[in-house]
Amino acid sequence: MIWDELDPSMAQLAAEGLLRRRRTLEAPCGPEAVVEGRRVIAFCSNDYLGLANHPSIVAAAQQAAGRWGVGSGASHVVSGHLWPHAELEERLAAFVGREQALYFTTGYMANLAIVPTLMDRNDAIFADKLNHASLIDAARLARAEHVRYPHGDVDTLAHRLEQSRARRKLILTDAVFSMDGDLAPLPELFALAERFDAWLVVDDAHGFGVLGPGGRGSLAHFDLPPSPRLILMGTLGKAAGVSGAFVAGDRCVIDWLMQRARPYIFTTASSPMIPVALLASLELMVNGDERRAHLQQLIVRLRAGLDGLPWRLLPSPTAIQPLLIGENEAAVQLAERLFVRGLWVPAIRPPTVPMGTARLRISLSAAHSEEQIDTLMGVLRECANDGYA
């Protein structure tokens, strides 16, 4: 039967140590999670500023339900574009200093919208090898040539751009790489985009709200000038603590996406509670320097404290701090070991990361305390001494 190959395929995944397992949480997202009856310190979420369960955002969402209802009823281009969606777009555009912004239900969909709307089979997309899966899928959906350059390698990229005979070119990159935590060389990429008349699409899922003055993100961090060719995607389910995403850029680009992007047009607009919650979140992000400074201190503390462990801490300046383990099984075992000791750190395996580079991905949040970081470091040291290296 058609389903007969599923069981052996599943067994194969299990044999390779690649089965994913969901854990069900019994409390809201926060630095402490209640999972399967156990209270653990969680280093898993992308809630970098600790806003996912913030009382004023929760209150805004509750009031929004009373004022706007819970459903939008239709897509944005029919009748689902409510005042909170419009207001959020204006505030986001102003915050990141671009002419216009378009709100999406998820970052995955925003990426699927941008790339295929601007590129077709006569074009070429130049993508960093470590780009997020949603950017890879976006390139596939565009059916353009997909040229992948070695991670952060601007010289190779320049060479490939030079050789390309494609009609239109687009450079596609994460700003902060989601599994490594390092930054893309955005000024160099922008210079190449100018030189070769290419689009530059920057996915700032992990920089928005965290990096740059006022948390305005990676483009602000590098002080890149606004340009029609520079398209910013930021997600709103990570540092912003809610859900959704936006694309910001020049009016001509955003208007075109609104007219033509299928993942924008053919989906129901989010519940109006979401943009109302996001307006409250944006307020906290704008005034979030203290949160960002605390997060920065935690990053420095963790990196100093993990020096000397048998595992290599990748050189990340951001809240994503990956500890390279190598083999899938070893990473899973160490994660299990930490979990029974009350620490939840996810093991990340292929295909999310390249073969042989399974890792523990420690995500820090401004909601963590110094004591929680110290506890993690202490237990990791004990695991190393117990021969888990």
Residues that constitute the known binding site for substrate: 20, 132, 352
Query: How many residues bind ligand PLP, per CB under 6 A?
Result: 14
Using the rule CB under 6 A, which residue among 54, 85, 132, 291 binds ligand PLP?
A: 132
User: Does 246 participate in binding ligand PLP (rule CB under 6 A)?
Assistant: no
- From the list 54, 169, 238, 368, the catalytic residue is 238
Kindly tell me which of 215 and 237 has the beta carbon lying closer to ligand PLP. Answer: 237
Q: Is 32 helix (H, G, I), strand (E, B) or coil?
A: strand
Q: 70: burial class by Cβ within 10 Å (0-12, 13-18, 19+)?
A: exposed
Is 174 an interacting residue with respect to ligand PLP (CB under 6 A)?
Answer: yes
What is the C-alpha separation between 246 and 132, in angstroms, rounded?
17
> Of 101 and 383, which has the nearer Cβ to ligand PLP?
101
Residue 329 identity: E
Catalytic residue at 56? no
Burial of 123 (0-12, 13-18, 19+ CB in 10 A): buried
CA dihedral 8, 11, 12, 15 (to 10 degrees): -160
Distance CA 51, CA 87 (A): 20
Q: Give strand pairing partners of 169.
A: 124
**Is 106 an interacting residue with respect to ligand PLP (CB under 6 A)?**
yes
* Residue 238 known to be catalytic: yes
361 binds ligand PLP (CB under 6 A): no
Tell me, what amino acid is at 5? E
Going by DSSP bridges, is the β-strand pair 145-149/124-128 parallel, antiparallel, or unpaired?
Answer: parallel
Q: Is 146 a catalytic residue?
A: no
Q: Which of 206, 221, 294, 368 is catalytic?
A: 206
Strands 320-326 and 312-313, by their bridges, are antiparallel
Cβ distance to ligand PLP smaller for residue 349 or 380: 349
Nearest distance in Å: CB 205, ligand PLP: 3
Q: Are 41 and 31 in contact (CB under 8 A)?
A: yes
CA distances to 225, 226, 232 from 220, in Å: 9, 10, 11
Q: Which of 72, 178, 271, 316 is catalytic?
A: 178
Residue 235 binds ligand PLP (CB under 6 A): yes
Is there binding between residue 134 and ligand PLP (CB under 6 A)? yes
Comparison of 124 and 245: residue with beta carbon closer to ligand PLP: 245
Q: Which of residues 134 and 321 has its CB atom nearest to ligand PLP in the complex?
A: 134
- 146 pairs with which residues across the strands? 125
Annotated binding site: which residue ranges?
Answer: 20, 107-108, 132, 178, 206, 235, 352
* Share in percent of the chain as helix, strand, coil (round to 5): 45, 20, 40
Instruction: Confirm or reject binding of residue 178 to ligand PLP (CB under 6 A).
Output: yes
- Rule CB under 6 A: is residue 47 a binding residue for ligand PLP? no
Q: Does 208 bind ligand PLP (CB under 6 A)?
A: no
Q: Binding ligand PLP by CB under 6 A: which of 60, 93, 205, 231? A: 205
Q: Which residues bind ligand PLP (CB under 6 A)?
A: 106-108, 111, 132, 134, 174, 178, 203, 205-206, 235, 237, 245
Residues known to be catalytic:
178, 206, 238
